[in-house]
């Protein structure tokens, strides 16, 4: 059996049917923006391996930090014990986050950080005597992960979890904020869409623990960018109804939108924020849920007196070391110029796609470039073309998109945009 045959017969891949395994590339090496197949073919990782490898693959600052840490202390339990990697990473995160977000819970993955955030919100509300506030509000078109509670706030129709509808907690879905990122913001709440939230909170506010959403950019729910003023209005309404505001910045955090966090762009500080993906620069799975002193201490006033969560590998020192190194690479601020350059280049080079038949929209924000088609895009076409074009793309739903590493060169980025435009052209 060849390695690829073993893989096809025995290994599950994300969102696949094991009985009908799709085509597969066998990757043996990754460095910078490049992935190398077993036959030596190279392709640019235009996906940043699901939006994580912002400094490129096998970044030596990160790999050295992890090597040193593994030689000293790969892991210890976090119950009753602590260590410098967790402390150092915490300091760096607090420096980067808006004032007030400074109580950190380390998690293993993004989905877990969403579970933790939702659990914090419910425990907080109950501790405050609001025992009926155990449900959640969210906006349509969102994606928050694959675990049960996170699934319950993913888009109920187009999300990846519609199938489980009957088995999920029923949550309150608002229409997706329809005013686009760069459009003018109408003040009238009937026109700007905030009236729906106003009405929901007036009617059901006493049942709702928190409003959870991805600020400004909805990622896996459709690569949709909406107006930050919606978030300002939402924050005020949530405060008025004692509803916590949770931002899922797992996709948008650490520079992807051109701001360090999307909440910086919106100038709104939530009560709880979820971070993940690029936290370790894509070198190892890790995430965090960060909240305020007020919420953290409020949870402490609950009957249990403690927050009821504690993963086995919580604050794994190897992951913390990778996180410290990745954040230190952001400290000189050079990423900002790079992301701005990527944005400008993508705006120019993706624009020609707008004229192609079958293309519905072209949009760019920071290091996110999207060609939205009218129809579903078959990802296997991009998969098959990748070795030839030298660009690894994985379209989903109607979107041909890229989220390149910030270290991509202009020439490499041109290869990515031209592969995207030709893929869009194939559809016509």
Ligand X SMILES: *Cc1c(COP(=O)(O)O)cnc(C)c1O
- Considering only 122, 251, 318, 424, the residue that binds ligand X (CB under 6 A) is 251
Coarse DSSP helix, strand, coil percentages of the chain, rounded to the nearest 5 percent: 40, 15, 40
Q: Please, what's the largest Cα pairwise distance for the chain?
A: 65
What residues from 217 to 236 belong to the interface with ligand X (CB under 6 A)?
Answer: 219-220
Residue 214 is a binding residue for ligand X (CB under 6 A): yes
Residue 197 is a binding residue for ligand X (CB under 6 A): no
361-366-368-370 Cα dihedral, nearest 10 degrees: 10
- Cβ proximity of 253 and 278 under 8 Å: yes
Nearer to ligand X (CB atom), residue 248 or residue 264: 248
- Cβ proximity of 324 and 89 under 8 Å: yes
d(CA 192, CA 210): 21
Residue 326 is a binding residue for ligand X (CB under 6 A): no
Q: Work out how close the CB of 146 gets to ligand X at its nearest, in angstroms, rounded to a whole number.
A: 6
- Considering only 48, 53, 59, 111, the residue that binds ligand X (CB under 6 A) is 111
Query: Is 50 marked as binding a ligand?
Result: yes
Catalytic residue among 15, 20, 39, 71: 15
Closest to 44 in 3D by CA, of 370, 387, 426: 387
Residue 110 is a binding residue for ligand X (CB under 6 A): yes
Residue 313 bears catalytic tag = no
- Cβ proximity of 342 and 364 under 8 Å: no
Tokens standing for residue 221? 């729910």
Residue 119 bears catalytic tag = no
Residue 143 bears catalytic tag = yes
- Cβ proximity of 27 and 392 under 8 Å: no
Catalytic residue among 119, 149, 235, 277: 277
Query: Is 110 marked as binding a ligand?
Result: yes
Query: Is 277 marked as binding a ligand?
Result: yes
Query: Is 311 marked as binding a ligand?
Result: yes
Query: Is 119 marked as binding a ligand?
Result: no
- Cβ proximity of 321 and 69 under 8 Å: yes
For tokens 């997706």, the residue is 176
Nearer to ligand X (CB atom), residue 194 or residue 274: 274
Q: Where are the beta strands (DSSP E) in 177-260?
A: 208-213, 217-218, 224-225, 244-248
Residue 124 bears catalytic tag = no
Residue 159 is a binding residue for ligand X (CB under 6 A): no
Residue 250 is a binding residue for ligand X (CB under 6 A): yes
31-39, 141-149, 384-392, 397-405 -> range binding ligand X (CB under 6 A): 141-149
Kindly state the number of chain residues that form the binding site for ligand X, as judged by CB under 6 A: 15
Question: Which residues on neighbouring strands pair with residue 104, listed in sequence order?
Answer: 290
Tokens standing for residue 15? 């969102």
- Cβ proximity of 177 and 226 under 8 Å: yes
Task: Give me the half-sphere count of Cα atoms (radius 13 Å) on the Cβ side of residue 281.
Answer: 29
Catalytic residue among 106, 124, 143, 226: 143
Tokens standing for residue 292? 């305020």
Residue 248 is a binding residue for ligand X (CB under 6 A): yes
Residue 366 is a binding residue for ligand X (CB under 6 A): no
d(CA 385, CA 379): 10
Nearer to ligand X (CB atom), residue 284 or residue 342: 284
What residues from 50 to 109 belong to the interface with ligand X (CB under 6 A)?
Answer: 109
- Considering only 44, 104, 114, 403, the residue that binds ligand X (CB under 6 A) is 114
Nearer to ligand X (CB atom), residue 103 or residue 277: 277
Query: Is 102 marked as binding a ligand?
Result: no
Residue 404 is a binding residue for ligand X (CB under 6 A): no
d(CA 87, CA 170): 38
Query: Is 338 marked as binding a ligand?
Result: no
Residues that bind ligand X (CB under 6 A): 109-111, 114, 143-145, 214, 219-220, 248, 250-251, 276-277
Which residues are catalytically annotated?
15, 143, 248, 277
Annotated binding site for pyridoxal 5'-phosphate: 110-111, 248, 311-312
């Amino acid at each position: 059996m060849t390695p690829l045959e073993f893989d096809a017969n025995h290994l599950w891949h994300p969102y696949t049917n094991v009985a009908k395994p799709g085509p597969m590339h066998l990757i043996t090496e990754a460095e910078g923006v490049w992935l190398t197949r077993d036959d030596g073919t190279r392709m640019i990782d235009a996906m940043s391996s699901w939006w994580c490898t912002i400094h490129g693959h096998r970044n030596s600052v990160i790999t050295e930090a992890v090597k040193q840490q593994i030689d000293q202390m790969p892991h210890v339990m976090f119950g009753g014990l602590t260590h410098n990697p967790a402390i150092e990473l915490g300091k760096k995160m607090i420096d980067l986050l808006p004032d007030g977000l400074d109580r950190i819970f380390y998690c293993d993955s993004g989905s877990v950080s969403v579970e933790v955030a939702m659990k914090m919100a419910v425990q907080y509300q109950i501790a405050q005597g609001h025992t009926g506030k155990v449900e959640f509000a969210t906006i349509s078109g969102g994606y928050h992960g694959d675990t049960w509670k996170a699934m319950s706030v993913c888009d109920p129709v187009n999300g990846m979890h519609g199938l489980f509808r009957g088995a999920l907690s029923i949550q309150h879905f608002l229409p997706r904020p329809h005013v686009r990122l760069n459009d003018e913001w109408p003040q009238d709440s009937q026109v700007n869409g905030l009236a729906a939230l106003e009405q929901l909170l007036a009617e059901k506010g006493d049942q709702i623990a928190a409003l959870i959403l991805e600020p400004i950019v909805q990622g896996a729910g459709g690569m949709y960018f909406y107006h930050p003023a919606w978030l300002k209005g939402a924050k005020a309404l949530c405060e008025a109804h004692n509803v916590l505001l949770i931002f899922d910045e797992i996709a948008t955090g650490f520079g992807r939108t051109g701001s360090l966090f999307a909440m910086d762009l919106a100038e709104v500080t939530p009560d709880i924020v979820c971070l993940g993906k690029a936290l370790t620069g894509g070198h190892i799975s890790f995430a965090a849920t960060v909240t305020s002193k007020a919420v953290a201490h409020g949870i402490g006033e609950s009957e249990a007196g403690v927050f009821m969560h504690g993963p086995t590998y919580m604050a794994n020192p190897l992951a913390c070391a990778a996180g410290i190194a990745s954040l230190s690479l952001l400290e000189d601020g050079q990423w900002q110029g790079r992301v701005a350059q990527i944005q400008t280049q993508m705006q120019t080079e993706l624009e020609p796609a707008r004229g192609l038949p079958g293309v519905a929209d072209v949009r760019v924000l920071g290091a996110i470039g999207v060609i939205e088609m009218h129809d579903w895009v078959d990802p296997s076409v991009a998969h098959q073309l990748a070795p030839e074009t030298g660009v690894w793309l994985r379209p989903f739903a109607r979107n041909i998109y890229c989220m390149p590493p910030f270290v991509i060169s202009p020439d490499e980025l041109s290869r990515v945009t031209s592969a995207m435009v030709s893929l869009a052209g194939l559809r016509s």
